[in-house]
Amino acid sequence: MTNLFYPSLQRQDVSVYYKSVGVFYSTYNCKSNYENVAKDCQYRCVYCDALIDECGGEPFSLDHFRPQHIFGDRFDGILKTHPFNLHLSCQKCNVLKTSDWQGCIDTESGPTYINKKGYVDRFKEDITNFLEVDHNGYVQCTSPDGPAKYMIGKLLLNRTNRVYIRKLREVKVKARKVQEMILDKQRKILDEWNSGSLSSEQVKQELEVVTELLERLTKLRKA
């Protein structure tokens, strides 16, 4: 299940982001850094882990990780437009987070959570040190030291639709594995036929079983 949920994220080199005369374009500019930030975030919400495609394909929001409301006038306003402060977020998570900030406000790169309240910066820490997705699609807090419990509560990470999306993602991966196993079996049957260790009648019977399994799997995947 490596990387199926909450993969570790990395920024691109700062030179790839749009800027003009040393100032990064804001999200309101026509040349926004949306595409670059979306790529950084692997086209998924940094909070609930839903992929854009899993939510109908409409663009997500660019969340000011350190909120403009608090940091807008600090540090020469750099956090208003700097792409490294922009994190891809689905609309619902963005609305639920709003201007909430529980971390340090005295520096532009200080702790992002204090006393277990706040948010994990996905580009600074591996969030899977604090939470995991169980086999039913629920995000579970795995460490009492981090802000996972706070994030799950504040952002409603286990809202019905997101649990469904995660479960569906896992089921699809399993279905792909089953399909690979069936196709592998099909190849082995034909190899055995070619080597003469199976009769034509045996091959026919075994291939009928394999074909039926593939048809049933295809129907399930379309359901």
CB of 49 to Zn ion, least distance (A): 7
Q: Are 36 and 12 in contact (CB under 8 A)?
A: yes
Q: Which is nearer to Zn ion, 93 or 152 (CB)?
A: 93
| Interface with Zn ion in residues 186-215 (CB under 5 A) | none
Does residue number 139 form part of the binding site for Zn ion (CB under 5 A)?
no
Q: Contact with Zn ion (CB under 5 A): which of 52, 62, 93, 139? A: 93
Sole window of 42-50, 114-122, 128-136, 191-199 interacting with Zn ion (rule: CB under 5 A): 42-50
Q: Which two tokens stand for residue 57?
A: 């394909």
CB of 18 to Zn ion, least distance (A): 25
Complete DSSP assignment for 71-106? HTTSGGGHHHH-GGGEEEE-HHHHHHHTT---S--S
Tell me, by CB under 5 A, how many residues bind Zn ion.
5
Looking at the Cβ atoms of 93 and 163, the one nearer to Zn ion is: 93
Instruction: Let me know: does 110 contact 65? Beta carbons within 8 Å.
Output: no
Between β-strands 117-118 and 131-133, what pairing exists: parallel, antiparallel or unpaired? unpaired
Among 9, 37, 45, 141, binds Zn ion (CB under 5 A): 45
Tokens representing 68 are 């403009």
Report the alpha-carbon distance of residue 217 to residue 223 in Å, rounded: 10
Residue 47 touches Zn ion, criterion: CB under 5 A: yes
Q: Which is nearer to Zn ion, 78 or 156 (CB)?
A: 156
**CB of 158 vs Zn ion, minimal distance in Å:** 12
**What is the smallest separation between the CB atom of 47 and Zn ion, expressed in angstroms?**
5
What pairs with residue 51 in β-bridges? 44
d(CA 181, CA 185): 6
Give least dist CB 95 to Zn ion, A. Answer: 10
* Choice from 9, 37, 41, 48 touching Zn ion (CB under 5 A): 48
Q: Among 9, 41, 79, 90, indicate the residue that binds Zn ion (CB under 5 A).
A: 90
DSSP annotation of 118 reads E
Q: Identify which of residues 80 and 122 has a Cβ nearer to Zn ion in the complex.
A: 122
State the DSSP string of 151-213: HHHHTTTT-HHHHHHHHHHHHHHHHHHHHHHHHHHHHHHHHHHHTTSS-HHHHHHHHHHHHHH
Stretch that binds Zn ion, among 1-9, 41-49, 71-79, 136-144 (CB under 5 A): 41-49
Nearer of residues 66 and 166 to Zn ion, judged by Cβ: 166
Q: Please give the residue ranges that form the binding site for Zn ion (CB under 5 A).
A: 45, 47-48, 90, 93
